[in-house]
Amino acid sequence: MSSSSAATSLLLAEDDHDLADLLMRVLVAEGYDVTTAADGQRGLHLGLTRTFDVMIVDRGLPGVEGLDLIGRLRGRGVLTPVLVLSARGSTQDRVDGLDAGAEDYLAKPFEVTELLARLRALLRRHRDRAPVLPLGSRSLDLATRTVSGADGVEVELSEREAALLAVLAARPQQVFSRRELLERVFSDAESDSVVDTYVHYCRRKLGRGVIRTVRGLGYRLGSP
């Protein structure tokens, strides 16, 4: 969603091979950039290490069960909208799915046209309420990954820079250790020096004051 011409990236976590195959073909034909995961572990790994615009998650997945997968992503700050597919369709199942952090819930069997319509609605809703976080006197728009100030100057951030600032801005009073930031933002990285590197990138783009170093403890949001 960073530009209107870019394809919408979609993670499809579904272990039913035939259904995954069918959905993959339909979604690609609709212009989605689809990545598939055949089990929950793979889905979790992809969800934590890559950025998607939307996810379709089957509830009954081997490895990590679908709702557990969503809960873990939400716990790590991944806010991508999720549509859950389930063989079960009772009200309680639906409630469980929504409670786990899914935005929508579709019981199998379903019509592909309904799935596509729900995806479009989900993306629309998400775009409309994409979070804007205060960043001192400026604000960070997570949908466009831009920081803008009262002077009208806009600064574009990379995905990782925006994710790092989003974690800090969500709790402006809290000091985060490098280890915490590593786990939340750079879970695929080996060393926590990557945190320092991205703090440096953010400061270079937005000024030194944007992130404060708290000696011996870590980093917190500054007051730029």
Residue (58 or 161) nearer to Ca ion, CB? 58
Q: Binding residue for Ca ion (CB under 5 A) from 1, 39, 41, 60?
A: 60
Nearest distance, CB of residue 26 and Ca ion, angstroms: 18
Residue (59 or 184) nearer to Ca ion, CB? 59
Residue (41 or 197) nearer to Ca ion, CB? 41
Residue (62 or 75) nearer to Ca ion, CB? 62
Nearest distance, CB of residue 120 and Ca ion, angstroms: 24
For the chain, the straight-line distance linking the first and the last C-alpha, in angstroms and rounded, comes to 27
Nearest distance, CB of residue 84 and Ca ion, angstroms: 11
Question: CB of 185 within 8 A of CB of 163?
Answer: yes
What residue is closest to Ca ion based on CB?
60
**161 near Ca ion, rule: CB under 5 A:** no
Beta bridge partners of 176: 219
Distance CA 27, CA 224 (A): 43
Residue (60 or 172) nearer to Ca ion, CB? 60
**58 near Ca ion, rule: CB under 5 A:** yes
Per-residue CA distances from 132 to 125, 146, 221 (Å): 15, 10, 15
Nearest distance, CB of residue 75 and Ca ion, angstroms: 22
Q: Fill in the per-residue mask, 6 to 25: x = in contact with Ca ion (CB under 5 A), - = not in contact.
A: ---------x----------
Other C-beta atoms within 10 Å of 1: how many? 15
> Which tokens sit at 76?
């790590």
**Coil, helix or strand at residue 140:** strand
Q: Which stretch binds Ca ion (CB under 5 A): 27-35, 56-64, 150-158, 162-170?
A: 56-64
What sections of 50-111 are H helices per DSSP? 66-75, 91-99
Q: What does the chain come to in residues?
A: 224
Q: Phi and psi (nearest 5°) for 9? A: -85, 135
Residues near Ca ion (CB under 5 A): 15, 58, 60
